[in-house]
Amino acid sequence: MHQSVNIFSNVQILKLVGSCFFLNLLIPRATEYTTNTVILSLPAPLVLFFWVVIGYASKERHLLERLEDKLIPLRGPPCCWFCLCCPKLPFSKQRFKVVKACIYQFFLTPVILFIIATVCSKYGVFKELKFVPDNAAPYLVGLNFASFFIGVYGLVIFMKTTSKLLHGFHIHGKFLSLQLQFILVRFHFFTFDTLGRLGFFPCHPPVSSLMTALYIRSALLLGEGFILSVVGRFFFLHAPPPHFVSVVDTTHPINQNA
């Protein structure tokens, strides 16, 4: 039941993101509001993915019990270069809490940074894309990137730790479909905004270079989002393994003694 609610919430959030891109094409002046909505809501599906995986075990404590004798792989993107020499650590509840905190901050940090940026802009100490020491933009952008790396790294560790335990639930496919959506949106936001402000795209008054970039960005993201939604739908709505039983917690496959 809980995983069904989380999957439904995931779908609704992705619909909201797609609606924002479509609204950008219809009402370009609403770009600022729709962009903020997308940035703030986009990490939510990845956090819900964390809840979905826990839902497969019925309860968090059941999952922790089955992971007690497992190892936590520290090698994984996007921090694979820093953790290349790190050994696998034995699983513990304390380490799970750290991973859990990394995942939760993935959603909370952008909200906090958005509030800080709004307050700073009111006092004139925040100007977007102005990277000078007396402006808050470089510091907030740096914190945002740090939050992204920590959050994705925590999700990758969690996925690798639970994927073998939940064999048959297509954990990798579900995670990749959500992660690609997030990465593509952030990449397009940064790339097209930068190119538009630099005048890379043609300017046909009253349509500026930046406006052309926003049109292209929204159209691309609509198409890419549709493709990823179809792929994600396949994985999330795929039939569970034959041995999956969700009626009684004690009969769940990962809650049974090996």
Euclidean distance between CA atoms 64 and 12, whole angstroms: 29
3-state secondary structure of 71: strand
Cβ neighbours of 174 (radius 10 Å): 22
| Helices (runs of H) and strands (runs of E) counted in the chain | 8, 2
Residue with tokens 């959500």: 178
Euclidean distance between CA atoms 19 and 34, whole angstroms: 9
Backbone phi, psi, residue 248, to 5°: -115, 130
Asked whether the beta carbons of 21 and 225 are under 8 A apart, the reply is yes
CA-based nearest residue to 73, from 51, 99, 37: 99
Backbone phi, psi, residue 188, to 5°: -65, -40
Euclidean distance between CA atoms 173 and 38, whole angstroms: 23
* Residue pLDDT tens, the chain, 258 long: 445 545 556 567 777 787 888 887 788 778 888 888 888 888 888 888 888 888 777 777 888 888 887 777 777 666 555 555 666 778 888 888 888 999 999 889 989 998 998 898 888 888 876 778 888 888 888 898 888 888 888 888 888 888 777 777 777 888 888 888 888 888 888 888 888 878 888 877 777 888 888 888 888 888 888 888 888 778 777 666 665 544 434 444 444 544
Euclidean distance between CA atoms 103 and 178, whole angstroms: 14
Which ranges constitute the DSSP H helices of 57-199?
A: 60-66, 93-122, 137-163, 171-197
pLDDT at 58: 72
Angle between helices 2-26 and 209-236 (to 10 degrees): 160
pLDDT at 184: 87
- Rounded to 5 degrees, what angle do the CA atoms 65, 178, 69 make? 15
